[in-house]
Amino acid sequence: MPAFTPPPLPSDDKRWKIVNGTMRKNGFARYALIETLHTVQSSFGYLDDDAIRFVANSLRVPLSQAYGVVTFYHYFSLKPPGKHTVTLCAGTACYIKGSDKLIAAAEKRLGIQPGQTTRDGNVSLMTARCVGACSRAPVALCDGEVAGEMTSEQVLEQLERWTVE
């Protein structure tokens, strides 16, 4: 049986080398699928068809299986994120402290549902299951920064700042 040669990189974008690095580190083993998808998402922000195809081919995982993994785990996204992302935690402690009001306020202001991005690509609205900052509930992540004890007004102010930019 001829030795396996991984497929060529999809483009000369340097980020593919980082992705390839993760796979090489794991000896192109199938179990590296989730690890590699994490690298793709952290490098490119999301997973598109080309990326899934490339990873699946490189690791000799059926495309159906790779797609199955991508859609099974909430952390993976098939859509590019907006310029800014506000993630509102919907964990139990945040729910008890009224995170539903924060989510409703953001939905109303942005005119989108959680998981969507505004049409101009400026803001993505996400919800999280729990970010582990429960003692300061309700919690929001504004571009990854944890902000605790949030009010609807504070969320709207943040959204306003991003719109003005």
Partner 1 sequence: MTIEELEQIAESVRLENGKFDYEVNVCMDLACSSQGSEKLREALVKAAEESGKKVLVRRTGCMGPCSSGPLVRVDPEETLYRHVKAGNAEEIVASLGGSPVPSLQCDLNEHFGSQVRVVLENAGYIDPEKIDDYISRDGYKALLTVLTEMTPKGVIHRITESGLRGRGGGGYPTGLKWGTVAKSSGDLKYVVCNGDEGDPGAFMDRSVMEGDPHRVIEGMAIAAYAVGASKGFIYVRAEYPVAVARLTTALREARRRGLLGNGICGTVFNFDVEIRLGAGAFVCGEETALIASIEGRRGTPKPRPPYPAMSGLWGKPTLINNVETYANIAPIVRNGGKWFFNMGSERSKGTKVFALTGKIAHTGLVEVPMGIKLREIIEVIGGGVPDGHTFKAVQTGGPSGGCIPVQMMDVGVSYDALLKMGSIMGSGGMIVMDDTSCMVNVARFFIEFCMTESCGKCIPCRAGTAQMYTLLTRICQGVGTMDDLELLEDLCSTVKEASLCGLGQTAPNPVLSTLKYFRNEYIEHIAEKRCRAGVCNIEARVEVTA
Q: Footprint of partner 1 on this chain (CB under 8 A)? A: 30-35, 37-38, 61, 65, 68-69, 72-76, 90-97, 128-137, 145-148
Task: Evaluate whether 68 touches 34 at the Cβ level (below 8 Å).
Answer: no
* Residue number, 19 or 61, with CB nearest to partner 1: 61
Task: Evaluate whether 44 touches 17 at the Cβ level (below 8 Å).
Answer: no
* Residue number, 9 or 93, with CB nearest to partner 1: 93
For the chain, state the CA radius of gyration. Answer: 19
* Residue number, 38 or 53, with CB nearest to partner 1: 38
Q: How far is the CB of 35 from partner 1 (least distance, A)?
A: 7
Distances (CA, A) of 143 to 53, 96, 123, 124, 140: 29, 24, 10, 10, 9
Q: How far is the CB of 143 from partner 1 (least distance, A)?
A: 13
Entry field: residues in the chain = 165
Q: How far is the CB of 118 from partner 1 (least distance, A)?
A: 23
Q: Which of 120, 157, 121, 164 is nearest to 142 (CA)?
A: 157
Stated as kind and residue range, the H or E segment containing 88 is strand 84-89
Q: How far is the CB of 71 from partner 1 (least distance, A)?
A: 9
Return the amino acid letter for 77.
S
* Residue number, 33 or 159, with CB nearest to partner 1: 33
Q: Structure tokens of 135?
A: 């003692």
* Residue number, 9 or 114, with CB nearest to partner 1: 114
Q: How far is the CB of 65 from partner 1 (least distance, A)?
A: 7
